[in-house]
Amino acid sequence: MSIEIKFFGSLADIVGSNEMHLQNVSDTDSLLEKIISDFPKLNGYSFVLAVNRKIITVNQMLKTGDVVAFLPPFAGG
Amino acid sequence: MLTKEEISRYSRHLLLPEVGKKGQEKLKSSRVLVIGAGGLGCPALLYLAAAGIGKIGIVDGDVVDETNLQRQILFDDTDIGKSKAEIVKQKLQKQNPFIVIDTFYTKLTVGNTLGIFADYDIIIDGTDNFSTRYMVSDASCLLNKVLISGSLFRFQGQLSVFNFPVGKGPTYRCLFSSPPTFAQAPDCSATGVIGTLPGTIGTMMANEAIKLITGAGEILSGKLLVADMLTMNFQKIEFERNPEVIKSIPSSEEKFRKMNYEMV
């Protein structure tokens, strides 16, 4: 049961990597809780989550092979 | 109607079934406003002018700085210290004398935004800060304008078309409901940016504008293009209109003028 997680923009700096794999996470709420407890600096950062290239607004069940992206807004122009 | 000179000038467009004479006439009668003549604005403006957009507006209250030259391709050394909007107008008018260019050498505020937007059909956001991005998005919704928005971080870019179809498509707030602080999402001057990234994203912004006007292809609505120039991964992330978020957009000009966008 492995979930692929991708971090975009400045979030990758905080996590120290563009991507990681996590096991034993059943849904996006528990994934978010785990990631934030591992990287408390993420707390308060603005970002949205996408599961398999679709932005989610409510908790979603996760299954092996799912890809979760942490997407912050960019300011630069 | 296109003149004889215009028919010759735009011949490569006229050959395209997706554009043709009808599409070129639509481009000629269209009005596009570009906010920010910077990294994104420069390539977008160049291609819009070359494509024959009948009326182009440029909003930028800054002057050219030497740190702009690495990516803001409409400027050269001799432009340093001069108004970006004015330089861009001169250069675009030289590129295409058949179009009208209006300049707004000012910063956008809740006081002047609606008046400036009123004369345009499509808004292109290439600004470098969140206050302006949220303000531009709200004003576009209020005035029923389609908004093409691009943004950058180092080697990564984001691009989407908001409020299309007008009043029905997802907005910037549907994607990112509220602004982050500056420390969380710094601009190019704090993070750096590869020069070719705005070239790529800005060109695609002009492309979406041309598609919107001519009706060609599929519009990048409800989808966020996320481009990574290091890996060359380009992916489209889907999102939907959020009725709850829409409620937070000011519903009248009066309410808009009372908004405080300087929260970041």
User: What is the complex's ipTM, to 2 decimals?
Assistant: 0.96
**d(Cα B221, Cα B213) in Å, to the nearest integer?**
14
Task: Look up residue B32 and give its amino acid.
Answer: V
**In terms of CA atoms, which chain B residue is nearest residue A55?**
B239
Report, as an integer, the average pLDDT of A56-70. 97
pLDDT number for residue A56: 97
Measured between CB atoms, does B158 come within 8 Å of chain A?
A: yes
Report, as an integer, the average pLDDT of A52-63. 97
B49 CA: distance to closest CA in chain A (Å): 19
Query: Phi, psi at residue B205, to the nearest 5°?
Result: -65, -45
For residue A68, the chain B residues in CB contact (below 8 A) are: none
User: Sorting pLDDT into bands at 50, 70 and 90, what band is B190?
Assistant: confident
Spell out the residues 6+ positions from residue B109 whose beta carbon is closer than 8 angstroms to its own. none
Are A55 and B185 an interchain contact pair (Cβ–Cβ within 8 Å)? Answer: no
Are A10 and B186 an interchain contact pair (Cβ–Cβ within 8 Å)? Answer: yes
* Eight-class DSSP state of B221: B
Measured between CB atoms, does B234 come within 8 Å of chain A?
A: no
**d(Cα A59, Cα A43) in Å, to the nearest integer?**
18
Q: Tell me: the pLDDT tens digits for B218-263?
A: 999 999 999 999 999 999 999 999 999 999 999 999 999 999 998 6
Q: Is residue A1 over pLDDT 80?
A: no
Compute the mean pLDDT over every residue in chain B, rounded to the nearest whole number.
Answer: 96
Q: Is residue B95 over pLDDT 90?
A: yes
pLDDT number for residue B105: 97
Mutate to test the interface with A, among B154, B184, B201, B232 (most CBs of A within 10 A): B184
**Largest distance between two CA atoms of chain A:** 39
For residue A73, the chain B residues in CB contact (below 8 A) are: 130, 133, 151, 158, 175-176, 179-180, 185
**d(Cα A18, Cα A3) in Å, to the nearest integer?**
14
Alpha-carbon distance values, B113 to A48, B44, B61, B155, B219 (Å):
28, 20, 13, 30, 25
* Short-list B152, A40, A30, B177, CA closest to A5: A30
pLDDT number for residue B263: 65
Q: And the tokens for B71?
A: 């990516």
**d(Cα B217, Cα B133) in Å, to the nearest integer?**
26
Q: Tell me: the pLDDT tens digits for B43-53?
A: 999 999 999 99
Q: Tell me: the pLDDT tens digits for B135-184?
A: 999 999 999 999 999 999 999 999 999 999 999 999 999 999 978 865 66
Measured between CB atoms, does B80 come within 8 Å of chain A?
A: no
pLDDT number for residue A44: 79
Report, as an integer, the average pLDDT of A26-38. 97
Q: Tell me: the pLDDT tens digits for B208-221?
A: 999 999 999 999 99
Q: And the tokens for A36?
A: 């934030």
**d(Cα A67, Cα B237) in Å, to the nearest integer?**
12
Q: Is residue B76 over pLDDT 80?
A: yes
Question: pTM to 2 decimals?
Answer: 0.96
